[in-house]
Amino acid sequence: MRQATSILSFDTPGRGFIDITGSIAGWLRQSGIGEGLLTLLCRHTSASLLIQENAAREVRQDLAAWLDRLAPEGNHYAHDDEGPDDMPAHLRAILTGVTLQVPVIGGRMALGTWQAIYLAEHRRAPHHRQIAVHLIGE
Amino acid sequence: MRQATSILSFDTPGRGFIDITGSIAGWLRQSGIGEGLLTLLCRHTSASLLIQENAAREVRQDLAAWLDRLAPEGNHYAHDDEGPDDMPAHLRAILTGVTLQVPVIGGRMALGTWQAIYLAEHRRAPHHRQIAVHLIGE
Amino acid sequence: MRQATSILSFDTPGRGFIDITGSIAGWLRQSGIGEGLLTLLCRHTSASLLIQENAAREVRQDLAAWLDRLAPEGNHYAHDDEGPDDMPAHLRAILTGVTLQVPVIGGRMALGTWQAIYLAEHRRAPHHRQIAVHLIGE
């Protein structure tokens, strides 16, 4: 049994959902671990991680509109010194979450056929984001 | 230290919350691992996993009504080619999440007295759902 | 490779977010494990766990107001025998989640600079809360 860890970096173009499944799969492959548990932690408070539909792009469009509605921008927040998109970004990160775990079976992440891993950027501006990854297995 | 993995299947009767704690506990028991970490991944984008109250059935009833209110059906979604209950199902799956981890201590999942693990089916129709399970420990 | 597990207890003063990062870091330190995976499970259905901003206290204030808005108290719940703040507490716990995982790298939790781990108490009254912790690594 052994472990591998890393801090992976991603540049986001501002608000949106970036499919990082391929990058994670690449890191997993070079680890040489074929059966195990993969854990991801987004090291930020206004970006997050989620597993969702990898096919229809309209799903991401509807998701963005829904997050806008549930946690709208506006002047009703006490925390506003980093701009009007900052506090809603925190709330959207809380709703979606910053940690994910994926079992690794037979050399692959045991995701469903329609699942991809997304880094969700909730700020309007481009950001440099880090994801801590941990893998244990053999 | 060793691992066990499996893909467990569940048939859902359509929208609702299915208590899968007993099935998971059964799988855990036959693994022979008494101290460790259990991970579950729901391999779908319109069903999800959550840990909640195992006693009062009204809690699940209120939860269903709340999800209806936060992510309602309607004709305002761009992604509508799989029916009016599909996009809300994706949103409800994102809100509740598809991965869960439970420490295993003394041969049992370390859940609280009132906690059960539910597979949440968000589509109206019955579905065949898969959960990837991973266990590491000794 | 080895494991450590424990049940940690926290007394909450009623609704609010308690920074438990220091307590968890203390437990991690005395385990002697420097590379691994840390898992937390809140053993309750009306309290939860989240990772969020550790600096501006206004973020927690806005978060509390947002949860009040998304899952308000009121007489519209079927489950009301434990008081008007109980069912909203369940819903807020579902939204934020009860499990968290943090990679441990170089003797420390791989949290971002601005991240802290919070125990979220969603009931109005003070409560005694338990968190199951699991650590695997070396």
pLDDT tens for residues A6-65? 999 999 999 999 999 999 999 999 999 999 999 999 999 999 999 999 998 999 999 999
Q: Identify the pLDDT of residue B81.
A: 87
Task: State ipTM.
Answer: 0.96
Q: Given an 8 Å threshold on Cβ–Cβ distance, is B50 in contact with C134?
A: no
List Cα–Cα distances, A111 to A102, A104, A115, B45, B118, in angstroms: 7, 9, 6, 10, 19
Each residue's pLDDT tens digit, C113-122 = 999 999 999 9
Q: Identify the pLDDT of residue C94.
A: 98
Each residue's pLDDT tens digit, A86-136 = 999 999 999 999 999 999 999 999 999 999 999 999 999 999 999 999 999
User: In the structure, what pLDDT confidence band is assigned to residue B51 with cuts at 50, 70 and 90?
Assistant: very high
Q: Given an 8 Å threshold on Cβ–Cβ distance, is B98 in contact with A51?
A: yes
Burial C20-51 (b: 16+ CB within 10 A, else e): bbebbeebbeebebebbbbbbbbbbbbbbbbb
User: Do residues B93 and A114 make contact, with C-beta atoms less than 8 angstroms apart?
Assistant: no
List Cα–Cα distances, B104 to A17, A68, C60, C109, C110, in angstroms: 34, 39, 32, 21, 23
Q: Identify the pLDDT of residue A81.
A: 87
Question: Which residues in chain B are contacts of A112 at CB distance < 8 A?
Answer: 43-45, 130
How far apart (Å, rounded) are the C-alpha atoms in residues A9 and A27? 12
> Which candidate from C51, C53, C103 shows the least CB-CB separation from A39?
C103
Q: Identify the pLDDT of residue C81.
A: 87
Each residue's pLDDT tens digit, C30-87 = 999 999 999 999 999 999 999 999 998 999 999 999 999 999 999 899 998 899 999 9
Measured in degrees and rounded to the nearest 5, phi and psi for residue C114 equal -100, 10
Mutate to test the interface with A, among B67, B68, B99 (most CBs of A within 10 A): B99
**Separate counts of helices (H) and strands (E) for chain B:** 3, 8
Q: For the residues B30-49, what does the mean pLDDT come to?
A: 98
Identify the H or E element spanning C119: strand C115-121
Q: Identify the pLDDT of residue C19.
A: 98
B41: CB partners within 8 A, 6+ apart? A101, A102, A103, A110, A111, B98, B99, B131, B132, B133, B134
The domain tally of chain B equals 1
> Which candidate from C50, C61, C102 shows the least CB-CB separation from A94?
C50
Question: Which residues in chain A are contacts of B98 at CB distance < 8 A?
Answer: 51, 115
How far apart (Å, rounded) are the C-alpha atoms in residues B23 and C26? 35
B132: CB partners within 8 A, 6+ apart? A103, A105, A110, B5, B6, B7, B40, B41, B43
Instruction: Match 């209110």 to its residue by tokens.
Output: B69
Instruction: Match 């195990």 to its residue by tokens.
Output: A36
Instruction: Match 């759902």 to its residue by tokens.
Output: B129
> Which candidate from A2, A45, A130 shows the least CB-CB separation from C52?
A45
Mutate to test the interface with A, among C21, C38, C52, C118 (most CBs of A within 10 A): C52
> Helices C86-96 and C57-70, interaxial angle, to 10°?
120
Instruction: Match 């330190």 to its residue by tokens.
Output: C29
Instruction: Match 């309750």 to its residue by tokens.
Output: C44
Residue type, B30: Q
Q: Answer whether residue C136 shows pLDDT above 90.
A: yes
Q: Given an 8 Å threshold on Cβ–Cβ distance, is C90 in contact with B138?
A: no
Nearest residue of C to residue A71 by CA position? Answer: C66
Alpha carbon dihedral A69, A73, A76, A78, in 10-degree steps, equals: 120
Q: Where residue B62 sits, what CATH number does that domain have?
A: 2.60.120.460
Q: What is the mean pLDDT of chain C?
A: 97
User: Do residues C26 and C100 make contact, with C-beta atoms less than 8 angstroms apart?
Assistant: no
Q: Given an 8 Å threshold on Cβ–Cβ distance, is C112 in contact with A37?
A: no
Q: Given an 8 Å threshold on Cβ–Cβ distance, is B52 in contact with C93?
A: yes
> Which candidate from A3, A77, A79 shows the least CB-CB separation from C137?
A3
Q: What secondary structure, in 3-state letters, does chain A show? A: CEEEEEEEEEEECCCEEEECHHHHHHHHHHHCCCCEEEEEEECCCCEEEEEEECCCHHHHHHHHHHHHHHCCCCCCCCCCCCCCCHHHHHHHHHHHCCEEEEEEECCEECCCCCEEEEEEECCCCCEEEEEEEEEEEC
Q: Answer whether residue B21 shows pLDDT above 90.
A: yes
Q: Answer whether residue C89 shows pLDDT above 90.
A: yes
Task: Domain of residue B73: give its range.
Answer: 2-137
Each residue's pLDDT tens digit, B65-83 = 999 999 999 989 999 889 9
**For chain A, first and last CA: distance in Å?**
5
How crowded is residue B69: how many other Cβ atoms within 10 Å of its Cβ? 11
Instruction: Match 């008081």 to its residue by tokens.
Output: C83
Q: Identify the pLDDT of residue C63.
A: 98
